[in-house]
Structure 1
């Protein structure tokens, strides 16, 4: 066995996820890393002795390593590696890549070692299509303007859904003609269609990234799989839009931040707390305090000051993730539907 069982399992499971999500190159890279020995050194030692949960449900170690390698390709620092990566080489040639990969790990060991400290931040823009569908439902039920509060915002790309052209069930929402066009495969009834009034928007993240900072943009691109050119193009366009819109993303603990944001009562506006594929990364205490703050704010809500909680999260069921909505003062929770983790399809159940 090349790696301890838990490390090997994390890479092999990530390989399957990448293949299922339409990235055969990254899937083959994950399989290569799982089954071939790496050269002795600080990178191999770091992976071998990883102290936390290496899986996608924990520290996502395979994606951290993939991000480090892609970053070196994007900057041109690893030219030989880049020659075997998309867009120059779309199919992974394991026999050709392996020796170059070993060379890269030796030459850039310190950089890769330190990059493994960084949690992946993909900020998948296509999730804004799920957010848009949810916001339409909230607006139609409340008849009020919306105050957006997103946790796990990264660079704020999903804080600006109405600035994208979003096609859902044959209807176009947001900004027609936007450089970011989202058109997931839609199953079910067309969502509610009403004019959105976004009164305010704000997000938080433990490590927020700026859509206009060169280093932050490179980091976001590094976690986008190299053979998915459409995702890279979409990311670039969304970063350009958000650099102009400048949504505020605070550096903060999610539980502390949401408690502070929900403390004052807001009349004649519906505050919307939302997040996408975030809760699984929260420590249990953070998740408990975060949930408690929302429930307490919900208990204070009224018809003129409602509160909505839009959650787009894995729930252990298949396929994809659940889209749920809790709306106060009623406090009932409904399942709006399910969606692909990367927003390729949405099944609308209401």
Structure 2
């Protein structure tokens, strides 16, 4: 029988494998090397076991390895681990995998108590601004398709409510510049956040009609205040340090958030939605949105969330429609692109439409549009 520490090291190895580059843009050789070495150290009862003390029986969905990597990354970002920083490209370093653990181990020993507290207190935050590219296309489809179903001449304006919003970085899809392959730009061409969509195909919508968002808000059980240095460091620490495009997007998204604050309330999704969804508004499409958050939601909250949404869907009217738009992973066995595919899915009520709009990378870029019925 495996000990709790052995199970933890296995989770570290699984998470390390998920970070393997495989020649693609979504991997992280640095995080792979760090977690692989930490797993070996856990098996040997080294300093990693002391850092992870109290987290030995954490469930896999809480991704303890990524919490460990994020806590170490934060020390680097704060300038408190200069020898380790030479491996981190986002602060000017270059990975030397054979030397990484020799530089990491003294940092773990020096900051042991702080790292242990941070690993136990924190949750992984996955604000990925790149997801706003397919999200913008999905919202255009939703607003226009809901209007077409009721014979409305123009697209519905949108109320956008995000579950698991973290720092709220993905609540401004209409205020991002999304560059298409032909040089056209959707959204705000003057935005500080510019996304190269890398789309195959186009959303099944009139891209000449701008998206109108009249209200936006989010909730999270652990919201991050990106107006503070602590909040910005927290989100930045979970961006893999050798994915420089992601790093630049996150920093630009936080600058946009500073210019355009959006409320993210501390609440569970079901509780928050049960309050929000009673506030129907005529002439507006209400869109509930979440991305790569479902795996972190406890089963009880998932069931309650479905129930709350079903009740609201039953009350939706042609003049006050409701949509669910999600970007979540689905396991795809034996796939060359990895074990998971990320699908953009849309449901519309009272129209009763269920659409699979397309699939893409975990960070929203690249993305392939391919409308099908979502069963």
TM-score by length of 1: 0.92
SS, match of residue 70 in structure 2:
helix
Q: 1:127 aligns with which of 127, 131, 134?
A: 131
Q: Is the 8 A contact 2:12 2:35 kept in 1?
A: yes
Say whether 1:34 aligns with 2:55.
Answer: no
Structure 1 stretch displaced more, 272-281 or 79-88? 79-88
Q: What displacement does 1:49 show?
A: 5.4
Which residue of 1 is the match for residue 151 of structure 2?
Answer: none
Q: 1:89 aligns with which of 82, 93, 97?
A: 93
SS, match of residue 296 in structure 1:
helix
Say whether 1:13 aligns with 2:29.
Answer: no
Which residue of 1 is the match for residue 166 of structure 2?
Answer: 154
What is the distance in 2 between the residues matched to 1:304 and 1:153? 27
What is the distance in 2 between the residues matched to 1:286 and 1:3? 27
What is the distance in 2 between the residues matched to 1:295 and 1:3? 39
Which residue of 1 is the match for residue 58 of structure 2?
Answer: 52
What is the distance in 2 between the residues matched to 1:144 and 1:120? 34
Q: 1:184 aligns with which of 177, 190, 197?
A: 197
Q: Is the 8 A contact 1:314 1:322 kept in 2?
A: yes
Q: 1:113 aligns with which of 104, 112, 116?
A: 116
TM-score by length of 2: 0.86
* Change in CA separation of 1:255 and 1:114 when aligned onto 2, cut-off 3 Å: same
SS, match of residue 218 in structure 2:
strand
Which residue of 2 is the match for residue 215 of structure 1?
Answer: 230
Say whether 1:322 aligns with 2:343.
Answer: yes
What is the distance in 1 between the residues matched to 2:54 and 2:308? 39
SS, match of residue 331 in structure 2:
coil
Say whether 1:348 aligns with 2:369.
Answer: yes
Q: What displacement does 1:302 show?
A: 1.1
Number of equivalences: 346
Q: Is the 8 A contact 1:2 1:34 kept in 2?
A: no
* Change in CA separation of 1:25 and 1:42 when aligned onto 2, cut-off 3 Å: closer
* Change in CA separation of 1:347 and 1:319 when aligned onto 2, cut-off 3 Å: farther
Instruction: Provide structure 2 residue ranges, at least 5 long, that are not aligned to the other structure.
Output: 148-154, 333-338
Q: What displacement does 1:45 show?
A: 6.3
* Change in CA separation of 1:191 and 1:175 when aligned onto 2, cut-off 3 Å: farther
What is the distance in 2 between the residues matched to 1:188 and 1:149? 27
Which residue of 1 is the match for residue 283 of structure 2?
Answer: 268
Q: What displacement does 1:277 show?
A: 0.6
Which residue of 2 is the match for residue 296 of structure 1?
Answer: 311
1:74-85 → structure 2 map (5 Å cutoff): 74-85=77-88
Which residue of 2 is the match for residue 252 of structure 1?
Answer: 267
Instruction: Provide structure 1 residue ranges, at least 5 long, that are not aligned to the other structure.
Output: none
* Change in CA separation of 1:183 and 1:88 when aligned onto 2, cut-off 3 Å: closer
What is the distance in 1 between the residues matched to 2:55 and 2:187? 47
RMSD (CA atoms): 2.1
Q: What displacement does 1:303 show?
A: 1.0
Which residue of 1 is the match for residue 188 of structure 2?
Answer: 175
Q: Is the 8 A contact 1:202 1:249 kept in 2?
A: yes
Q: 2:321 aligns with which of 306, 313, 317?
A: 306
Which residue of 1 is the match for residue 150 of structure 2?
Answer: none
SS, match of residue 62 in structure 2:
coil
Q: What displacement does 1:262 show?
A: 0.1
SS, match of residue 289 in structure 1:
helix
SS, match of residue 126 in structure 1:
helix
Q: Is the 8 A contact 2:341 2:361 kept in 1?
A: yes
Deviations 1:45-83 (A, max 9, x none): 635852221x3xx11111101101110111111222223
